[in-house]
Structure 1
Amino acid sequence: MSQRPTPLIALLIAATSLASCGSSGPAELPPLSEEALAAVTQDAGAPKDQLARQVDEVFTGEGVGETRALVVMHGGKIAAERYAEGYDKDTRFVSWSMAKTVTAVMIGMLVADGQLRLDAPAPVPRWQRPGDPRAEITLRQLLQMRSGLEHTEAGDPPYESGEVRMLFLDGRDDMADYATAQPLEAEPGSKFEYSSNTTVILADIAARALTSSKDPETRRKAVADFLHSRLFGPLGMTSAVLEFDASGTLIGGSLIHATARDWAKFGEMLRNKGSYRGEQLVPRAWVEEMVKPSPKSPHYGLQTWLNRPLPNGEEHPLFPDRAPHSAFAMIGHMGQYVFVSPSQKLTVVRLGHSDAPQRKAMLQQLADVIDLYPAS
């Protein structure tokens, strides 16, 4: 004859049985820190807690590298803003290759002024000598990174790359002279090849459109005055600092400094097709041209990356599977981004330091932030 369990034993058996069944509900998320919640504004355009959590992941997520600044603009207002320790709203961050898009805007303004022509041969004096095949390279081809000039952006060892040699070694005092001296390795217009040297050629073209002087200080002043009076000043980008080489050429492919908020202002201007607070600073048609895919690179426009798919599943620097194909971005070395999505009324700035594997993880976290804003 079996003995019935006592009430205490029966209770323990029941508790054990329930524990073994597990919970069918979703796992409870950890509470948000005060820092995470403080990063999001009341009128963020997305659920505050969700946005705070996704922004927090961009800073604290595993394997994303070091995020130093994040600014989310929605509908022209700051929706979220956060900085890592040691950085704040007044810190100037280096652009690296985000500067290329600024250079393209400067070229567009000079085209609108009648100083340059987009589909004419690029006005590079060295290339105009009789019989030089580089005379066929157009300004558009330079802007679309399909000049055909011989170049290696990232070599192994690094000192053998054309970019490193131009920036730091034998080309550093006169970067445009070094870049324009390269021979053709392909027919102009026939292939896409990303090149920081090409953007320095564009910066030199801009300087010569603004002044006929070869004096370095005169060249520096002409370009700086143009950008500050026509672009940075009206935008309120008061933090912008430009770097030039010894010959007075803007290092327009990599060295412009500004705060995260000021980079966001630049992105907002592009989102609004050249307009900022009712003033048309850059021709609308030029910004539209900047975000058209080139014939040789569906993910690249005029010195601007496009969130458009690549054929055959090629690796993409953005995330066309997770955001509108109308979106575009300024991208800089080691994880600098100004991501612009007009259909979502969104500009997102992420600045920091992430190597190639970390950037892949970080971009997915950034896409989680962007996912919170529906396209209209």
Structure 2
Amino acid sequence: MTMQRWLVPLTLPLLLGTAAPVADVQPGEEAEAATAPAIVRADLDPLVTALFEDEGVGETRAVIVVQDGEIVAERYAPGYSADMRYISWSMAKTVTAILVGFLVEDGRLDLDAPAPVPEWQGENDARRHITLRHLLHMASGLDHTEVNDPIWDSDTNRMLFTSGAGDMAGYAVARPLEANPGDKYEYSSATTVILSRIIADTLTDSEDPGARAAAYRRFAYQRLLGPADIHSLYFEFDAQGTQIGGSLIHATARDWARLGEVLRTGSAADGTEIISPAWRAFMLTPSPRNPEYGGQTWLNRPGGPYDSPTLFPGHGPDTIFSLVGHLGQYVVVSPEQRLTVVRLGNTPDAQRRAVVDRLARFFDA
């Protein structure tokens, strides 16, 4: 029988205190977790086990369950531990939206003004009507194709890995319109990279990639990561110093849980406000063109444009929301139930429904 690591911090400070150091360990290598092993809470045992062992769920690497601010279950697959960073994929989009919110609250950006993208400001360029709100709602109207067949022939893969990789935001903003701004929902990692460049442009006049990246990191730490006691989070940037805000952030499972808790309450563990009620409400309000999508955040609502909902409407409260990433990354939060569930792993998109169905059980329990 394969042995699994089971870890349950028994006291609140293990979640809300200083994050454990991040070891230089690659997946598949053995690494000891920073905390003493304990047992999972008995009523959660079958729910956690299902995410690791049920047929069809793919590879689950880490699960953390937090209730009322305290970790009540934590488990890692062999070769993974509490000391390792886990990739966000599209969970990064929600982090980007939080940072945009700080600048809106500061009066440095305006949700309904034309988005500050110089390439769109020509007198006859219809893209100058795209607003920050449109971008946050994935309704810019830009011709961005997230997934295509063949797989390489999509804007996401061209931007991340081939012709657009040197200047990802440059690639994204250069795309033409395919619909009037605000008229059409279309999920797009390229859209969020545009938001990341807008953040950097607002923070610094420098064109030096290193200076731009440093300004972005400093702002994120001062306004979000430091107050939230999140110390493992690592941003990736392109060659222009633009954070790859739609796809590439890395953090420990516990720090993903901390982020979920900040989104649940709007505050740090000590009660200090981090995300304002107004901005949190914006992120969690259904957007006009997709009721299951808010401000770069997935909502547990029916009526989305896809054959299958992204979350699980009908299970748990409709106030549940989630960070969602490629290959089955989830930070699912239920404010009413004071519950956050983190699942990290590697599950092909065709199998993700099995993971979602098992996550729903935590919120029905």
Other structure's SS at 1:344 match:
coil
Q: Aligned partners of 2:276, 2:224: CA distance in 1, in Å? A: 12
Are residue 118 (structure 1) and residue 111 (structure 2) matched? yes
State the shift of 1:367 in Å.
Answer: 1.6
Between the two proteins, the alignment pairs up a number of residues equal to 337
Deviation for aligned residue 1:173: 0.7
The Cα of 1:149 is off from its aligned counterpart by 0.2
TM-score by length of 2: 0.89
State how 1:313-352 maps to structure 2 within 5 Å. Answer: 314-352=307-345
Aligned partner (choices 79, 83, 92) of residue 76 of structure 2: 83
Does the 8 A contact of 1:220 with 1:249 survive in 2? yes
Report what 2:238 is aligned to.
245
1:195-246 CA-to-partner distances (Å, cap 9, x unmatched) read 0000000000000000011111110010011111221111111101100000
Paired residue type of 2:159: M
Cα root mean square deviation, aligned: 1.9
The higher radius of gyration belongs to: 1
Q: 2:275 maps to what in 1?
A: 282
Q: Does the aligned pair in 1 maintain the 2:143–2:177 contact within 8 Å?
A: yes
List per-residue Cα deviations over 1:289-326 (Å, max 9, x = no partner). Answer: 10000110000000000001116994101101212100
> 3-state DSSP class of the match of 1:110?
helix
**1:93 aligned residue:** 86
Moved runs in structure 1, 4+ residues, more than 6 A? 41-44
2:47 maps to what in 1?
54
Match of 2:164 among 137, 153, 171: 171
The letter for the 2-side match of 1:114 is: G
Equivalent pair of 1:97/1:253 in contact (CA under 8 Å): yes
Report the secondary structure of 1:279's partner residue: coil
1:138 aligns with 2:128: no
1:89 is aligned with what amino acid? A
Equivalent position to 1:366, from 356, 359, 364: 359
Gaps of 5+ in 2: 13-39
Q: Is the 8 A contact 2:115 2:128 kept in 1?
A: yes
Q: Which amino acid aligns with 1:268?
A: E
- Percent sequence identity over matched residues? 53
What are the equivalent positions in structure 2 for 1:1-376 lying under 5 Å apart? 38-39=6-7, 48-310=41-303, 314-372=307-365
Q: Classify 1:248/1:312 alpha carbon distance in 2 versus 1 (closer, same or farther; 3 Å).
A: closer
User: Whole-Å Cα distance in 2 between the matches of residues 331 and 352 of structure 1?
Assistant: 12
Asked if the contact 1:39–1:52 (Cα under 8 Å) also holds between the matched residues in 2, the reply is: no
Question: Which structure is higher in helix share?
Answer: 1
Tell me what 2:37 maps to.
none
What SS is found at the alignment partner of 1:349?
strand
Contact 2:228–2:258 (CA under 8 A) maintained in structure 1: yes
Shift in Å at residue 110 of structure 1? Answer: 0.6
Evaluate the alpha carbon distance shift between residue 311 and residue 134 of structure 1 in structure 2; reply closer, same or farther with a 3 A threshold.
closer
Counterpart secondary structure, 1:159: coil
Q: What letter matches 1:56 in structure 2?
A: T
| Structure 2 residue aligned with 1:5 | none
Question: Cα gap change, 1:60/1:246 in structure 2, threshold over 3 Å: closer, same or farther?
Answer: same
Shift of 1:88: 0.6
Give the match's secondary structure for 1:117.
coil
Structure 1 residues without counterparts, runs of 5 or longer: 1-32
Taking structure 1 as the reference length, the TM-score comes to 0.86
For the residue of structure 2 that corresponds to 1:67, the secondary structure is strand
> How far apart are the structure 2 equivalents of 1:53 and 1:277?
32
CA contact (8 A) 1:239 1:262 kept: yes
The 1-side partners of 2:273 and 2:294 are apart by 21
- In the TM superposition, what is the alpha-carbon distance from 1:49 to its structure 2 partner? 2.7
